[in-house]
Structure formats: structure tokens, C-alpha cells
Amino acid sequence: MQDRLTDRGLWRTRALVGGEWIGADGGTTIAVEDPATGDTIGEVPDCGAAETERAIAAAEQALPAWRARPAPERCAILRRWNDLILAATEDLARILTAEQGKPLAEAQAEIEYAASFVAWFADEGQRSHGQEVPAPTADRRIMVRKEPVGVCAAITPWNFPAAMITRKLAPALAAGCTIVLKPAQQTPFTALALGELAIRAGVPAGVLGIVTGDAAAVGGAMTASPVVRLLSFTGSTGVGAKLMEQSAPTIKKLALELGGNAPLLVFDDADLDNAVEAAVAAKFRNAGQSCVAVNRILVQAGIHDAFVDRLAARVRALRVGPGVEDGVEIGPLIDDKARAKVADMVADAQDKGATLVAQAPAAGRFTAPMLLTGMTPEMRAAQEEIFGPVAAIYRFETEADGLALANATPYGLAAYYCTTDLHRAWRVGEALEAGMVGLNTGAISLAMAPFGGIKQSGLGREGGAEGLEEYLETKALHWTGLG
Ligand code: ADP
């Protein structure tokens, strides 16, 4: 892998603790596979609680100096980090595709998206204004200050190995916090390369730690530590709930980006071309392995058949293969377990009456993009995240029926709808139970907009002004005796 990089120094294979690149105490490693081939591309330290505790101690030690740095200085370092990431886009994308599988073009787009969080928070970090509140008596002043939360921990998933990291690290560092990151076991190399660039940009030793290794051991040490004041997690609702429970004894602040079950409502008055494009964008990006991927496509009866025909043609034409091949649009799923889960869900839907209308050519390690119609709420794919390239279509009659179906889930991350009726656009946009709603678009992830869910999809927001706020505490300073 290293030989394929222009900048070989980006291939980091050790954990980052207290500014040093270290191996696991026991010398053990975890192998990382290329999901397109199953070949091992490298190994990283299999760290546990002890290494994590040392990274937390280093972050605690580095905190006073980092939080005391003027915000413009911290943000200048972030701007350098952004520039270095963008300059290394091609190398970072190669690493990302090698460990995650997505097409190179998508990996490059993710690196640019990841950098956009660094750029955004490099600006936003200079605007953590407090305020003065008018006091009830003449001798008192009330100042409201924003202060960094302190030492933070982050746990990130494999589906966006770069962007899920920068949207936690950048606001934390901008706010004056220090942070220890545990990247997903499947995709540690992108995280380590980003760490290397952070050091080159001037992030001081200890301010950023990256611990690769056993999820339960590292996560356990992070949640148990009284030093860690905030945990930011992106992943499944089940693991999120567990981390919340583990964080309860030390009353940590929590930012949880959990599972979704996004609906896309296509109304009779939708622009057909636009609706099909929105469905393709929101369903097939990253082979459907996204928490905001459309999980249920709800189509009104009047436009149903025309929409299905058009989407079927698009699905049949999707090019599946290794992410490094030119023109490939759908890469492999992350591992055998993911492939088996998608296959089970499709079989369950077919057993319960769904029809497989279209499929793209795919073989071996690659899961074929599929289009299913006749979906019903009893099917597994209606209740759980498919996390694969399967478009599942449900038919509905009235707007009220469609909305009820869309909201009939304990999740509330993203929702999408297509309509050209202005009144319906307002009504439905307000009625959809989700943290993010896209009208006539399948793309809702941008650094300047708050990203996050309601219901069992999580707590807090990332990106936007809100994303910085997560890493800040509010202090009320009361001064009295002023005459
Ligand atoms: P996914 O199914 O997408 O892998 P997970 O929630 O299992 O979602 O994983 C998201 C992140 O959470 C990964 O970094 C994973 O290693 C981590 N993780 C999984 N189980 C635990 C755990 N018990 N404690 C801490 N982190 C965990």
C-alpha cells in the first residue's frame, strides 16, 4: 500500500499516544482487509484499556496549554490541517478505498467533505461568543462565558472513515478541548493518516490521541474515565445505548449519532426525473452504507409505476466492482457479515411478498444493487437499516397515509420527500419526524448545517454552529460589589 502513495509518510501503522507513535503493550496487532479482495493491507496495534488510559492522561496534561491558546491560534492550526488534507486528497482517497471499499471518486469526495469540517470549524471556532446579561441590581454584572468541555473521547464507524472523524475532532480542537479517538477496527489507516497531517499542521503532543484496538476495551476505558467529560459516538443505536449506560456513572456529556430508517416520500405531483435522481443519490451512495441512506422509498399510487420503471433502469445500469476501477459506482460491502445481512433481508422481504424487479450485474464478493417493490411494514427491511444497495418500494394512497408510514419508526435521523406543490412542501416538511429533511434532494450532509437525529437516532448535532456548541460549556460569572 505504502508504495502506491505519493507521500509515503501518510501510511501510519501505529497508535498515537502523547505525541508518540506506539505499538500495543503486548505487541499484538489487528489485520485490516481490503473488502474488495479480502487481502490484508496492513496491521495496526491491538490496544486495550492501558494504552487508552495513557492517551487520556496525555490529553489531560495537554489540556491547560491548549485551552489557554487564543482561539485564532488554534484555528490557524486547523486551517493548516485543512490545507494539508486537501493537498493529500489523492493519497488519502487511495488509503480510504483500500480499507473501506468505496469507489475512488467517492473517496475523494469524502476527503473533500472531511476537510470542509476542518475549514468550517477553523472559522466557527473564533466565534464562540459569550454575552452579558442585564443584572437585576446596579452592583452586579452577569457574564456568560463559553469554555471548552475538557478532555473528550470519540468513537467512529467504518462507513465514512475520514468525515466522521473530522466532524468530531475539528470542533473539539477549535473549542479548546483535547480528544482521544478510537477509529473503527475496519478502517484505522485513514484516521492515522489524518493524525499524521494534524501533527504536521502543528497540533501539539497529547492534544490528539488515536487508539486503535479492541472496541470494548478501548470504549470501556474511555467511558469509565472520570477525566473524559464528553463522549462523541457515531454508530449503531445498540452500541450507543450501551455507551450511554457506561457513561452514566461519570455523567458525561454525550453526542450520539445513531441509526436511522430514512423514508423518501415521492408524491404524485413530484418531478419524476428529480425524484429518481434523489432516490439514486440517497440510496446508492457508499453502496447504501450510510445512516442517512434512504431505507424506505414510499411512492404514491399515481406515480408508482412510472417511478419504478425509471428507477429499475437506473439500478440495472449501475456498475459494480472494486473501488479502484474506473467507472465503478458501487463497491463491495464492508465484510461477509454485512453481505449476509443484506441477503437475509432481501430473502425475508421476498418470503413476505416483495418482488425483485431489477438487479445490476455483480458476482463474488459484490452485492448486486436491487430494486424491490410490494414492500410492507412487517418486513425486516422496513424496521432495520438495510445498509446495502437495495432500494425498497412501498406504495401509498393519500398524503396522510404516506406521512403515517414515514413516521412509523422509532428512528428520526433523515427524511426526504419529492413534491412540486408548495403547500404540501410546507405541510410535509413540518410533519416529518427527523433531525434533517431534504425536499427534492437526496443530499443533506454539509459542514455548515446541523446534522443529527431525534427519537432513537441520537443526541446532539454535528456541523453548523451547533457542532461547536457540543464541545463548549456555559459558565455564568456573577460579579458583585461594583458600587
Ligand atoms: P457498525 O455496525 O456500523 O459497525 P457499531 O456501532 O458496531 O456500528 O460500530 C461503531 C463504532 O463503535 C466502531 O468504532 C466500533 O468499533 C465501536 N464499538 C462497537 N462496540 C463497542 C463497544 N462495546 N464499546 C465501544 N465501542 C464499540
Buried b or exposed e, range 336-373, using 16+ CB within 10 angstroms: eebbebbeebbebbeeeebeebbbbebeebbbbbbbbb
Q: How many angstroms does the Cα of residue 257 sit away from the middle of ligand 1?
A: 12
Q: Span 425-435, mean pLDDT? A: 98
Q: Span 73-95, mean pLDDT? A: 98
pLDDT at 246: 98
How far apart (Å, rounded) are the C-alpha atoms in residues 205 and 192? 15
Q: How many CB atoms lie within 10 A of CB 310?
A: 18
pLDDT at 392: 98
Quote the mean pLDDT of the chain: 98
Judge whether 330 and 360 are in contact, CB under 8 Å.
yes
Q: Span 115-141, mean pLDDT? A: 96
Q: Span 46-71, mean pLDDT? A: 98
**Nine cell digits for residue 16:** 498515537
Residue 89 has pLDDT above 90, yes or no: yes
Q: How many angstroms does the Cα of residue 94 sit away from the middle of ligand 1?
A: 24
Strand partners, 1: none
Residue 455 has pLDDT above 90, yes or no: yes
- Where does 167-275 show beta strands of DSSP type E? 178-182, 208-210, 228-234, 253-257, 262-266
Query: Pocket around ligand 1: residues whose beta carbon is below 6 Å from it?
Result: 155-157, 182, 184-185, 215-216, 219, 235-236, 239, 242-243
> 322-375, pLDDT tens digit by residue?
999 999 999 999 999 999 999 999 999 999 999 999 999 999 999 999 999 999
Question: CA–CA distance from 68 to each of 91, 174, 178, 183, 200 (Å)?
Answer: 34, 12, 12, 28, 21
**Nine cell digits for residue 36:** 474488495
How far apart (Å, rounded) are the C-alpha atoms in residues 301 and 162? 40
Q: Return the closest-CA partner of residue 228 out of 209, 202, 213, 212.
A: 209
**Nine cell digits for residue 274:** 428529480
Contacts 24+ apart (CB under 8 A), 87-92: 88/7, 88/10, 88/193, 88/197, 89/115, 90/6, 91/5, 91/6, 91/7, 91/10, 91/193, 92/10, 92/162, 92/190, 92/193, 92/194
Sheet harboring 178-182: ordered strands across? 20-22, 15-17, 208-210, 178-182, 151-155, 228-234, 253-257, 458-459
Q: Is 368 helix (H, G, I), strand (E, B) or coil?
A: coil
Q: Span 259-267, mean pLDDT? A: 98
Q: Return the closest-CA partner of residue 388 out of 320, 445, 460, 476.
A: 320
List 75, 152, 177, 291, catalytic entry:
291
pLDDT at 59: 99
Compute the CA torsion angle 69, 74, 76, 81 (nearest 10 deg): 140
List 110, 257, 385, 469, catalytic entry:
257
pLDDT at 335: 97
Q: Return the closest-CA partner of residue 225 out of 458, 50, 62, 66.
A: 50
291 is catalytic: yes
Q: Span 441-463, mean pLDDT? A: 97
Buried b or exposed e, range 74-101, using 16+ CB within 10 angstroms: bbbbbebbbbbbbebbebbbbbbbbbbb
Residue 483 has pLDDT above 80, yes or no: no
β 294-300/355-359 pair status: unpaired
Radius of gyration of the chain (CA): 23
How far apart (Å, rounded) are the C-alpha atoms in residues 426 and 310? 27
Residue 270 has pLDDT above 80, yes or no: yes
257 is catalytic: yes
> 384-410, pLDDT tens digit by residue?
999 999 999 999 999 999 999 999 999
Q: How many angstroms does the Cα of residue 313 sit away from the middle of ligand 1?
A: 36
**Type of residue numbered 229:** R
> 171-197, pLDDT tens digit by residue?
999 999 999 999 999 999 999 999 999
Signed CA dihedral, 362, 366, 367, 370: sign only: negative
Q: Span 141-168, mean pLDDT? A: 98
Q: Span 23-51, mean pLDDT? A: 98
Query: Which of 32, 158, 239, 386 most suits a substitution to test ligand 1, by most atoms within 8 Å of the C-beta?
Result: 239
**Residue entry with cell 413530484:** 270
Q: How many angstroms does the Cα of residue 25 sit away from the middle of ligand 1?
A: 22
Closest residue by CA, ligand 1 atom 11 = 157
Strand partners, 356: 372
